[in-house]
Amino acid sequence: MSIIHYGESRILSEKLDRTSRLSALQYTKPVHIIIREVAITQNHLAGQPAPRELLVNIPRLVSAYYTNHPDPNNPAQQVSFGTSGHRGTSSEGSFNEDHVMAICQALCEYRRQQGITGPIFIGKDTHALSEPAEATSIEVFAGNGIETRIQSGRGYTPTPVISHAILTYNRGRTGGLADGVVITPSHNPPEDGGFKYNPPTAGPAGPEITNVIQGRANEIMRDGLKEVKRISYERALIVGTTRDYDYLMPYVKDLINVVNLEGIAKEGIRIGIDPMGGAAAGYWDIIADTYGLDLTVVNRLIDPTFSFMTVDHDGKIRMDCSSPYAMASLIRLKDRFDIAFGNDPDVDRHGIVSPSAGLMNPNHYLAVAIWYLFQHRPGWRSDAKVGKTLVSSSMIDRVTKALGRTVAEVPVGFKWFVDGLIDGSYGFGGEESAGASFLRKDGTVWTTDKDGIILNLLAAEMTATTGNDPGEHYQVLTEQFGNPVYERIDAPANSAQKAILKGLSPENVEANTLAGEKIVAKLTRAPSNNAPIGGLKVITENCWFAARPSGTEDIYKIYAESFISDDHLHRVLEEAQSMVSAAFKAAGV
């Protein structure tokens, strides 16, 4: 097991090949900041171009989508909506045509129950299974008489563009509202498929919605799909309810209202972008042409095997724009540009590469974005809050306090920011996993789903406006607010232990100190909205940890941060595990 300190000029792993990878991962200005520390098993291919033997067999994958039929009584093959929709792979019977048919039929029934009668906007990313899943969706929606909007020319559509389209359509309406789906497994490996639903609020559907759709979809599968209404793809494309729609230009033309693109063009900021073979590949040239930006797309390939990728830390191909291994190709080019960035396949995440800092840790960029935005958006409400998830860095809290603003800390999941972004009470909402959105310049809603495009362009805006790149801005923040050290680890836990952790109350934690500091808060509900966090968070003046059970594996996740030192962080993690173990022991599990 190697401990990799992402983002430092030093890489603490003897397994790394220094000559081939250090140049891609190092920072030009060595600074005493441990940006992200994750316990991982280091694969010898990490950061290297993907070898042919790693590439997925696309014909076999697509064939399995149609020919493999999941067992509706096998939990591993049932429809299961997590925080980011239903995901799986056709070869394992977890993402097949049966799933998509059942989900779409259940969604049609849900729409009727809720009185949602406007069009449903469909988007898809560049994963191999997204194309057949889109076809299945169109067939079922047409069979149910649902008014459907699909990208003209069967192109790809980013998640934030679907959110933008829904909000644009629904603006000023009280009835006949639109909703949408995005067919994507996000940054998951090439063999995966995924399906997300966005209700008329245009953000991720919460469990009060997805549990209904999931339950009904599994019923439909158990009943042999007999209740699915479906017509052929050829007929579905020509019926009056299915219409082509231009998602791209309305979104691109509206970007001027959320980012200072004139300033970027005026200063001649040299921008590099790697779409990582995703749905934004066709957007960046049009954005550059529309606004006169000096923007270079360094990789234009769209290939469902994602053969152009460098391998992630665990030896898998994964389009994770916050991973220095997956982003190695762009990091190597950082000195060619004033700012560079990447996106995952559905473009709801961002990865920022600056000359001063290389690939920025997501927590650090969120803090910089907040610091900049709340000083350069006079059209926002004076009481607009900063939305953050409970596992995001406390650097955000310190920055927000200095700005005279209020932090709204919510459970994990972007859905918790939706209402605040809609009414303008949240100026910004962000997650530690590199997903965020913010308001238009006039303080009204832009998107209620994560938007990797505007977070990328914001990095160029702040570089143009201030003359300093985001990495330099973060260094200034550390001098003012301290140098946090952040880590996430996994620990084993069986199903009974995970249930105990999910249902903990503050009284279950007897400790009064954490790593030598007085505990000031023990949270099992989010401070902002009192919603259950599905775990525990313990806070002191200079450190915190949060423990949450995994929904898919027999582990629980511990997130921790210290503003004191690396050694102090390790002490926090040790005591966190002891506290959780004590809770398990007290419960007899």
Residues 521-544: tens digit of each pLDDT: 999 999 999 999 999 999 999 999
Please state, in angstroms and rounded to a whole number, the distance separating the CA atoms of residues 572 and 82. Answer: 29
Residues 420 and 521 in one domain: no
pLDDT digits 0-9 by tens, 215-252: 999 999 999 999 999 999 999 999 999 999 999 999 99
Domain membership flag for residue 345: yes
**Pairing of the two strands 532-539 and 85-89:** unpaired
Residue of 225, 222, 217, 210 whose CA lies nearest to 73:
222
**Per-residue pLDDT averaged across 132-149, rounded?**
98
Angle at which helices 362-373 and 452-466 pack, to 10 degrees? 60
**Pairing of the two strands 120-124 and 435-438:** unpaired
**Per-residue pLDDT averaged across 140-169, rounded?**
97
Of 223, 246, 269, the domain-final residue = 246
Q: What CATH number is attached to the domain comprising 180?
A: 3.40.120.10
What are the residues whose beta carbons fall under 8 Å from the beta carbon of 8, sequence distance 6 or more?
27, 30, 33, 34, 35
pLDDT digits 0-9 by tens, 507-526: 888 899 999 999 999 999 99
Residues 285 and 382 in one domain: yes
pLDDT digits 0-9 by tens, 322-368: 999 999 999 999 999 999 999 999 999 999 999 999 999 999 999 99
Residues 467 and 500 in one domain: no
Residues 372 and 352 in one domain: yes
Task: Look up 186 and say whether it is catalytic.
Answer: yes
Q: Which of 74-78, 258-262, 441-445, 493-497 comes out lowest in average pLDDT?
A: 493-497
Please state, in angstroms and rounded to a whole number, the distance separating the CA atoms of residues 438 and 447. Answer: 8
**61 within 8 A of 90, measured Cβ to Cβ:** yes
Q: Retrieve residue 547's tokens.
A: 């423990």
**Per-residue pLDDT averaged across 169-182, rounded?**
97
Q: How confident is the model at residue 117 (pLDDT cuts 50, 70, 90)?
A: very high
> How much of the chain, in percent, has pLDDT values that exceed 70?
93
Residues 178 and 257 in one domain: no
**457 within 8 A of 264, measured Cβ to Cβ:** yes
Q: Retrieve residue 101's tokens.
A: 């048919």
Q: Retrieve residue 258's tokens.
A: 């959320």
- The domain tally of the chain equals 4
Domain membership flag for residue 323: no
Domain membership flag for residue 267: yes
pLDDT at 166 over 60: yes
Q: Active site residue: 80, 84, 130, 186, which one?
A: 186
Using left for φ > 0, alpha for ψ between -120 and 50, and beta otherwise, residue 514 falls in beta
Q: Looking at residue 82, what is its pLDDT? A: 81
Residues 256 and 385 in one domain: yes
Please state, in angstroms and rounded to a whole number, the distance separating the CA atoms of residues 304 and 131. Answer: 10
Q: Retrieve residue 6's tokens.
A: 């992402």
Residues paired with 296 in a beta bridge: 272
Please state, in angstroms and rounded to a whole number, the distance separating the CA atoms of residues 309 and 2. Answer: 23
Q: Looking at residue 57, what is its pLDDT? A: 98
Q: Looking at residue 552, what is its pLDDT? A: 65
Domain membership flag for residue 318: no
Domain membership flag for residue 328: no
Residues 141 and 88 in one domain: yes
Residues 453 and 505 in one domain: no
pLDDT digits 0-9 by tens, 16-37: 333 333 333 333 333 333 333 3
Residue 351: domain span: 251-298+333-481
Three-state secondary structure along 453-509? HHHHHHHHHHHHHHCCCHHHHHHHHHHHHCCCEEEEEEEECCHHHHHHHHCCCHHHC
In one-letter notation, the amino acid at residue 159 is T
Q: Looking at residue 41, what is its pLDDT? A: 57
Q: What CATH number is attached to the domain comprising 525?
A: 3.30.310.50
**91 within 8 A of 65, measured Cβ to Cβ:** no
Of 431, 454, 481, the domain-final residue = 481
Residues 287 and 420 in one domain: yes
Domain membership flag for residue 276: yes
Residues 421 and 521 in one domain: no
Domain membership flag for residue 125: yes
pLDDT at 2 over 50: no
Domain membership flag for residue 118: yes
What are the residues whose beta carbons fall under 8 Å from the beta carbon of 23, sequence distance 6 or more?
332
Q: Retrieve residue 362's tokens.
A: 């997501």
Residues 239 and 262 in one domain: no
pLDDT digits 0-9 by tens, 550-577: 876 788 999 999 999 999 999 999 999 9
Residues 422 and 491 in one domain: no
- More confident: 44 or 27: 44
